[in-house]
Amino acid sequence: MSKTYPQIDEALAAFIRAQKMFFVATAPLSGEGSVNVSPKGYDSLVLIDDHTVAWLDLGGSGAETLAHVRENGRITLMFCTFEGPANILRLYGQGRAVAFEDPGFAELKALFPTFDRARAIVVVTVTRISDSCGWGVPFYDYKGEREQLRRHVDHRPFDEWAKRRYEANAVSIDGLPALERPGAD
């Protein structure tokens, strides 16, 4: 039986912290655009208060989430158990992306002390919290984090890394603006 919650209470916070991965879903306003769902791992999510979460966007093969959040802010985070009692938790809300050279990034980045750099931090104001049974989610054993993404993000000198971020992440696959240099209009 699904249930909605008025806020992220301590029980929900403990559930969120216990998950080794979560999923982020966004979509453009256009019905012709691509819906995006991305898995996220590492210890890359923090609970700021009972209606606000933030996750560290290390980057990846595209910039759909950044583009969609910039365009319309709609975002859903989903957490599900792969061990123990079945459960799925969804946080619906409005997101805003703070890119690595934007004002305020350093203060948000301090919430993630074990990471050297990231493409952006997405802050989500949670407007709806609900769970569902999760009975269709199989059991999986957690074996550890893959280190390739962190190595990919951290191995280049900062200027080279930043240049590559702006070149590779300028637009989404649908042509929406994604990552722009501050002051570039």
pLDDT for the residue numbered 154: 82
Top-confidence residue, 62 or 7? 7
pLDDT for the residue numbered 181: 84
User: Who's near 23: CB < 8 A, 6+ residues apart?
Assistant: 37, 38, 39, 40, 77, 78, 79
| pLDDT single digits (tens) 24-41 | 999 999 999 999 999 999
Encoded tokens for 33: 């655009």
Whether residue 107 is predicted with pLDDT greater than 80 in this model: the reply is: yes
Confidence of residue 169 (pLDDT cuts 50, 70, 90): very high
pTM: 0.93
